[in-house]
A = this chain, B = another copy of it.
Amino acid sequence: MNKVTIDDIAKVAGVSKSTVSRVLQGRVAVHPDKKNAVLTATRRLGFKPNIVAQSLASGRSMTIGVLTQNMGSPFYDAIAQGVIAGLSPSSYSPIFADGRWQIPMELSALQSLVGRRVDGLVLIGGSISSQQIQECCNELPIVIVARRFSDSNYRCISMDNVHGGYEATRHLLDCGHRKIAIIRGLSHHADAIERHQGYTRALEEFGIVPDPRLMVESDFSPDSGLSAVRELIKRGEPFTAIFAANDLTAFGARLALDQHGLRVPDDVSIIGFDDQLESAYMTPPLTTYHQPAREMGHHAAKAILKLLQGDEFLSLQVPGHLVVRRSVRDLTTIVH
């Protein structure tokens, strides 16, 4: 292990430890001779500063706590990757804790992060209330990703899911679809609710009354997408298109259709949500609504860095956009 301390350097360089510290920090002027002596000794002894001691003394830990929900969802993973990337050019390191979408775990993970004296916090998704956050993180710079608080003054980096749901549904409508099924996500999940709202709004704009028989729930997993389509088919209510809660669900749905001998997009069209890497390689490539997950994570990292510098930073809505590929059939084009 590295047993070299600044005291050792001080001794070798023939100066006091204060001077060593000053040289190493480089914020205060030190006589060139001593400076050189310190630098030489530092190199010769292979000194590596003890960041823990630095943290305790300076009050800054140079770490950013990242609270994920680790549901293995590509979307949340991509956000986390973005945070790592955004932080990496700085001298801050991310430290992760995992809430697993369960409030008690989320709370304790958060407390563990705060106990580690992180200098800032990035909260990805999650379900705890803004009040609970406030309680344990007074004064700490916080950025929330992929979630929005109506009531609070937190900085949030999010995407407009209502609008996304609207655009996706609207695309199906524009392509002439009228019987549009929706596989929505978990009933209590904000993203699912908002996308569903967008769906409803788009339909109503076209004077269509949303049919509960064309609505199935899922848990965002491919498997639930598969069951959802089976359920849909069992109900017998015809449909020409499916709006899936996310791409993963769309994959499951696509497979179920295949198993029932229904062709995509010839018989049934599918639109997803997220635009994860694999979606472009579905057969047929999946039309979906792109969520800039990685960018959001990246933004979050930059935001925290800004706040840490004392700069202000305001909530940000990152725009998503429709990615048209080949899984939606255009019914308005007359085929021979």
Contact = CB atoms under 8 A, between A and B. Distances in A.
A18 interface: no
A209 interface: no
A1 B96 CA distance: 20
A96 B111 contact: no
Given A115-B49, A138-B1, A222 B280 contact: yes
A189 interface: no
Interface stretch (A50-58, A148-156, A194-202): A50-58
Contacts of A315: none
A255 B281 contact: yes
A117 B222 contact: no
Interface string A102-118: 00000000011111110
Query: Interface extent on A, as a size class?
Result: 35 or more
Contact of A283 (B78, B97, B112, B255): B255
A125 interface: no
A123 to B, nearest CB: 16
A77 interface: yes
A136 B224 CA distance: 47
B77 A115 contact: no
A283 B116 CA distance: 47
A254 interface: yes
A95 interface: yes
Contact of A111 (B1, B48, B115, B285): B48
Nearest to A137: B1
Contacts of A61: 52
B70 A281 contact: no
A287 to B, nearest CB: 15
A256 B248 CA distance: 21
Given A85-B70, A96-B93, A56 B48 contact: no
A20 to B, nearest CB: 17
Interface string A234-254: 000000000000001001101
A286 to B, nearest CB: 11
Contacts of A51: 115-117
Residue from A96, A98, A138, A284 whose CB has the most chain B CB atoms within 10 Å: A96
B85 A93 contact: no
Nearest to A283: B258
A70 B81 CA distance: 7
Contact of A96 (B94, B254, B283): B94
Contact of A115 (B50, B88, B282, B284): B50
A140 interface: yes
Q: Which 8 A-B pairs have the closest CB atoms?
A: A251-B281, A95-B95, A222-B281, A52-B55, A278-B278, A51-B116, A258-B283, A255-B281
